[in-house]
Amino acid sequence: MSTSQHLLHIFSFALFFFMSRAAEKPHGLILPIRKNSTTLQYYTEVDMGTPLSNANVVIDLGGELLWFDCDGYNSSSYHLLRCNSSKCKAATTYECTDCNYPYSSDCSKNFCGVYPYNPLGNGFIEAGLALGEDIMSVSSTDGISYLLSVEARHFPFTCRSTRLGSILGSELSGGTKGMIGLSRARSALSSQLASAFKLPHKFALCLPNSSATGPGDIFIGGGPYYMLPYGDVSKELMTTPLILNPVNNSPTRVGESNVHSDEYFIGVKSIHVDRKHVSFKESLLSINKKGIGGTKLSTLAPYTILQTSIYKALVKDFVKAAASRKIKRVTSVAPFGACFSSKTIASSQTGPAVPVIHLQLQSKSMYFRIYGANSMVEVEKDVLCLGFVDGGSNPTTSVVLGGHQLENYLLEFDLASSKLGFSTSLLLRNTTCSHYRLF
């Protein structure tokens, strides 16, 4: 072998080594987010098993486990988790189950059984469904493009064949067959992928609207976050503490004490409409000893849900502020409480030019601003409604910030520092969550 061949050899080996290393330790990971315009659910696609098969699954920001209908899923790399494994113990509710259901008839009594919950159907999928693990293939990213796919070898999930009877619920959007959780739980997508690839324990969401032309993003492992054509927004995020609700009021944890919530709460201090303070009992905005109250973020609520007194006060002040902008009110269309003639509303870079809603966070100058594109919903031709709904007088959580209000913002959940980073409305940057991408 000549020296130059030798060098080439070393070089290609180094390149191979570098590339395989790059594949092992990606800079970050990316998954697409799409929205179904009928159900208003956000979903992503996961690629699992050997051979890889894909499934669209609804995104639940507060959810714990990946579960899907595995009818026809026949993966040679799938295996069941034992009852005594650490992954089984990381699943919050588990039991030792008899059979490695749904796969074979081996009933040796020490498989891990979990209780996957479907919040859309307000019910458990099934009790003691076996927890298994398999390869998950996910695209790496540099914050701009979809790059090489990498494999997490032991991704935990549970599944059930619909051949055993229908369970998965018609509540899921057509074309999807399960759910994926992004909560603080150790079994959630973000924790699993961050630890599989030793990435910083953070993820970001950019929720697209339903008429959007391209998908939004789930980024795992941190920025940069290129919102083209504008650029990287990771350096201009404002931050607010993520609050740990000390009580887990989820149906999966009923009766258990000393278990905190896995959902993401933030500290909204007050609400303003066109800079005027909306008046209601502000103690509703804090979380009490029973875990009641406060503000959380949700991808399953299509519109923000407010405790009745907050809802009524907001609608009243919004209607008043709209009237002073000469916006004409029209008959309300359920479930909304205030609708307006869009002929009397100008348009702006941030959607319909309606009163701006400010959620004041930890300090007097820290706001999450909700402009017309996020506050208003077009219910019929020429009618725009204030897109907030009444959550009744005794909800568990006083303010549930829903999807419509979070679209086209970049939201970064940093679990290591327990902070939520948020961009301004991307519309102000002349881009959206369905921004250009390089492939």
Contacting residues toward ligand NAG, per CB under 6 A: 36, 38-39, 74, 76, 82, 84, 110, 173-175, 209, 211-213, 373, 429-430, 432, 434
Nearest distance in Å: CB 80, ligand NAG = 12
Nearest distance in Å: CB 174, ligand NAG = 3
Nearest distance in Å: CB 84, ligand NAG = 4
Residue whose CB is less far from ligand NAG, 58 or 313: 58
Helices (H) and strands (E) in the chain, counts: 6, 34
Residue nearest to ligand NAG (CB): 174
Residue whose CB is less far from ligand NAG, 180 or 243: 180
Contact between 282 and 313 under an 8 Å Cβ cutoff? The reply is: no
Residue whose CB is less far from ligand NAG, 109 or 260: 109
The span from the CA of 29 to the CA of 44, in Å, is 13
The span from the CA of 400 to the CA of 90, in Å, is 27
Please state, in angstroms and as integers, the Cα–Cα distance from residue 386 to each residue in 2, 303, 307, 328, 432, following that order.
75, 10, 16, 13, 21
Nearest distance in Å: CB 114, ligand NAG = 17
The span from the CA of 21 to the CA of 47, in Å, is 21
Contact between 313 and 319 under an 8 Å Cβ cutoff? The reply is: no
Nearest distance in Å: CB 385, ligand NAG = 13
Residue whose CB is less far from ligand NAG, 184 or 404: 404
Residue whose CB is less far from ligand NAG, 73 or 311: 73
The span from the CA of 295 to the CA of 400, in Å, is 6
Residue whose CB is less far from ligand NAG, 120 or 259: 120
> If you write DSSP's letter for every residue of 141-197 in order, what string do you get?
ESSSBEEEEEEEEEEEEEEE-GGG---S-TTSPTT--EEEE-SSSTTSHHHHHHHHT
Nearest distance in Å: CB 377, ligand NAG = 8
Strands 129-141 and 123-124: unpaired
What's the number of CA atoms in the CB half-sphere (13 Å) around residue 141? 26
Residue whose CB is less far from ligand NAG, 211 or 363: 211
Nearest distance in Å: CB 73, ligand NAG = 9
Residue whose CB is less far from ligand NAG, 82 or 437: 82
What the block records as the tokens of 97 is 């189950």
The span from the CA of 150 to the CA of 152, in Å, is 7
Nearest distance in Å: CB 207, ligand NAG = 11
Nearest distance in Å: CB 294, ligand NAG = 28
Residue whose CB is less far from ligand NAG, 59 or 242: 59
Contact between 264 and 309 under an 8 Å Cβ cutoff? The reply is: no
Name the residue type at position 390. D
The span from the CA of 321 to the CA of 23, in Å, is 54
Residue whose CB is less far from ligand NAG, 366 or 379: 379
Nearest distance in Å: CB 39, ligand NAG = 5
> If you write DSSP's letter for every residue of 318-350 in order, what string do you get?
HHHHHHHTTPPEE---TT-S-EEEGGG--EETT
Nearest distance in Å: CB 6, ligand NAG = 43
Residues 6+ apart with CB under 8 A from 315: 337, 338, 386, 388
Does a cis peptide bond (omega within 30 degrees of 0) precede residue 352? no
Contact between 91 and 187 under an 8 Å Cβ cutoff? The reply is: yes
